[in-house]
Amino acid sequence: MEFTISTKSPESCACDALVLGVFADRAPLEGAASKVDRALGGLLSSVLAEEHFKGKPGHTFVLHTHGKVPAKRIIVAGLGPKADVHLEQLRMAAAAGVRRAADARAKHVVFPAVSLPPHRADAVTQARVEGIVLGSYRFSRYKPQDDAAAVERVELLAGDASHQKDVEEGLRRGLLFAEATTYARDLVNEPPNQMNPLLLAELAEEAARTAGLRCSVLDVDAMRAQGMGAILSIGGGSAVPPRLIVLEYAPSKPKRTVAIVGKGVTFDSGGINLKTSSLEWMKSDMAGGAAVIATMQALPALKSPARVLGVVAAVENLPSGTSVKPGDIVRAMNGKTIEINNTDAEGRVVLADALAYAAQRNPDEIIDLATLTGSAMIALGYLAAAVMSNNQRLVDRLIDAADRAGERMWQLPLYEEYLEKMRSPVADLQNSGGRYGGAQKGAAFLREFVDGKPWAHIDIAPTAFLETDEGTGPYLHKGGTGYGVRTLLTYLSGA
Ligand code: BES
Ligand code: MN
Ligand code: ZN
């Protein structure tokens, strides 16, 4: 898909489809829609009224122009009530519009300028480009799709020529954010017979080379030398050994260092505590790691002011004669002992070493992303990730970044008492503390490995992977969502 920017006017633009946003509640047409309506002698507004088009978010409507304007067809995309329209509604309408255009076999699609004060043209353009690219995403590696239904050229109209620079910058950032997100989606959607710890590490090395990042990968011997008994214990059941992936981005005069840490369980069978359901979705258990790698490789182009350390614990959780067993006691890199009382609570165990490793590098703050608990999914459905932290200022800034990125994040409390349930009679900690408050207990466990540093844990189990149509939308499809990449990039572009 190729993007261009021009200053043509929408009613004189030749193309296969012209996408127009329309507010709900039969509000009078505004902006480009009203210009096009006038050029059509009022046909657009009267047909919309006759067809009872309500302008609901995500809804679309197609009008063939039969030569009355140079655009072959008009695609109207609902924006919802005017008072509720923010960047997210533009993102969704752009996605719905481009998907409708693709269904109509349109090749050249035009998006007229939209004004949404107080947002500037760069933010508006970024959101719409994200919607267009993410809405068009397909995981087609093992089932090539029919190219007939792919939009080839997207033309963005800048409106006022004075906005050209802002539109260019918005296009650049929109592509950066969306392509990093689709990269994370691809990593998650890759089947688990391919995506194992070794492939994830190789792909991280390749991405680092292309982007110009430092990358080092710790193998089993290196992890043993560092005392990483936690990740090694979980990795012990698989024929494919675990890896600790470390990526580094360093601008010339960094103000501070942020560590981002991801759970990279490439397949979570539960181990000896073998899962009885949902196994077919458990290739998604490396989504936190995918978000970290995808974010890291975008940082040089983002020109983040912060130094960023990316750490991914890549491991496969399988049952075998060499697996970790319930009752085993292992020692993490920071010296703490962990009784493994449930091998299916493996995420916190591998993160114990990854967080301790990140903390030892002395960052100013640590953010981890992990598909950690079914409990967070029970609480929030597919609609929001859960965030828990030892530092309220950090959570506030993360939630603000998530809001701006169009990714929902909801804070859960981290009361001291949760930790009591994670103490073991025979070790410093146990890895499972019972059903209730499971997301918070998992977070309380993780906090023991960050050495008191400001830290936030984002449990992305709810949002990382959509198993059915529930939770899908114009730019979110079944499968990996790439959740977290846009939030981290938003956060790190100001951090
Ligand atoms: N990877 C799972 C959590 C998960 C479940 C992610 C469903 C996505 C969808 C995690 O390793 C797990 O099994 N967690 C257990 C923890 C429990 C044994 C303490 C859970 O949430 O049930
Ligand atoms: Mn598990
Ligand atoms: Zn898991």
**Residue 106 is part of a domain; what is its CATH number?**
3.40.220.10
Q: Residue type at 248?
A: E
Annotated active-site residue in 54, 172, 275, 421: 275
CA-to-CA distance for 374 and 351, rounded, in angstroms?
Answer: 17
Task: Give the model's pLDDT for residue 145.
Answer: 82
Instruction: For strands 153-157 and 60-64, give the pairing.
Output: unpaired
Average pLDDT, the chain: 97
- pLDDT higher than 70, residue 26: no
Ligand 1 pocket, residue 345 CB under 6 Å: yes
Q: Are residues 201 and 153 in the same domain?
A: no
Within a domain: 186: no
Say if residue 465's pLDDT is above 70: yes
Q: Which residues contact 436 (CB under 8 A, 6 or more apart)?
A: none
CB atoms within 10 A of CB 417: 11
Examine the domain organization and report whether 205 and 81 are in the same domain: no
Q: Is residue 488 part of a domain?
A: yes
Q: Are 468 and 336 part of one and the same domain?
A: yes
Per the structure, the count of domains in the chain is 2
* Per-residue model confidence (pLDDT) at position 216: 98
Average pLDDT over residues 297-324: 98
Reduced DSSP (H G I as helix, E B as strand, rest coil) percent helix, strand, coil of the chain, to 5: 40, 20, 40
Distance CA 173, CA 129 (A): 9
For residues 281 and 307, state if they share a domain: yes
Structure confidence at residue 488 (pLDDT): 98
Q: Residue 270 CA: which ligand 1 atom is closest?
A: 13
Over residues 29-41, the mean pLDDT reads: 95
The token pair at 77 is 């995309």
Alpha-carbon gap, residue 430 to 338, rounded angstroms: 5
Both 158 and 282 in a single domain?
no
Q: Is 78 part of a structural domain of the chain?
A: yes
* Percentage, residues of the chain above pLDDT 90: 97
Mean pLDDT on 293-302: 98
| Pairwise CA distance, residues 109 & 298, whole Å | 27
- Residue finishing a domain among 129, 144, 179: 179
Asked if residue 99 is part of any domain, the answer here is: yes
User: Residues 304, 361: one domain?
Assistant: yes
Is residue 450 predicted with pLDDT exceeding 70? Answer: yes
Please identify which residue in the block is written with the tokens 């501070």.
256
Taking residues 15-40, report their average pLDDT: 92
Question: Integer distance in angstroms from the first to the last C-alpha of the chain?
Answer: 31
Tell whether 185 is covered by a domain: no
* C-alpha pair distances (Å), 438 with each of 285, 359, 431, 434, 462: 17, 24, 11, 7, 13
Q: Catalytic site residue 275? A: yes
Residue 212 has pLDDT above 80, yes or no: yes
Residues 145, 208: one domain? no
Residues 311 and 380: their CA atoms lie apart, in Å, by 27
Query: 410 and 465 share a domain?
Result: yes
| Domain-ending residue, one of 136, 157, 179 | 179
The answer, yes or no, to whether any atom of ligand 1 lies below 6 A from the CB of 297, is no
**What pLDDT is recorded for position 494?**
87
Which atom of ligand 1 lies nearest, measured to the CA of 347?
11
Cis peptide bond upstream of 118, omega within 30: yes
- Residue 473 in domain: yes
Residue 184 lies in a domain: no
Q: Are residues 166 and 307 in the same domain?
A: no
Residue 147, pLDDT score: 79
Residues in the chain: 495
Read off the pLDDT of each residue in 411-436 and give the average, rounded to a whole number.
97
Instruction: Please state the pTM of the whole predicted model.
Output: 0.98
Residue nearest to atom 18 of ligand 1 (CA): 345
Is the confidence at residue 407, as pLDDT, over 90? yes
Whether residues 20 and 144 share a domain: the answer is yes
Do 410 and 475 reside in the same domain of the chain?
yes
Indicate whether 36 belongs to any domain: yes
CATH number at residue 217: 3.40.630.10
**Which of the four pLDDT bands, split at 50, 70 and 90, describes residue 169?**
very high
Residue of the CA atom closest to atom 5 of ligand 1: 374
Q: How far is the CA of 372 from the centre of ligand 1 (A)?
A: 6
pLDDT of 495 higher than 80: no
Query: Which ligand neighbours the alpha carbon of 271 most closely?
Result: 2
Q: Is 278 in the pocket of ligand 1 (CB under 6 A)?
A: yes
Write the DSSP string, 442-475: HHHHHHTTSTT--EEEEE-TTTSEESSSTT-BTT
Percent of the chain with pLDDT over 70: 100
Amino acid at the residue 288: G
The 10s digit of each residue's pLDDT in 228-257 is 999 999 999 999 999 999 999 999 999 999
Q: Residue 148's pLDDT band (boundaries 50, 70, 90)?
A: confident
Please say which residue of 116, 144, 179 terminates a domain.
Answer: 179
Residue 103 binned pLDDT confidence (cut-offs 50, 70, 90): very high
Is the CA virtual torsion 128, 132, 135, 141 positive or negative?
Answer: negative
Q: How far apart are CA 309 and CA 366, in angstroms?
A: 9
Residue 45 sits in which domain range? 2-179
152 & 202 share domain? no
Catalytic residue list contains 348: yes
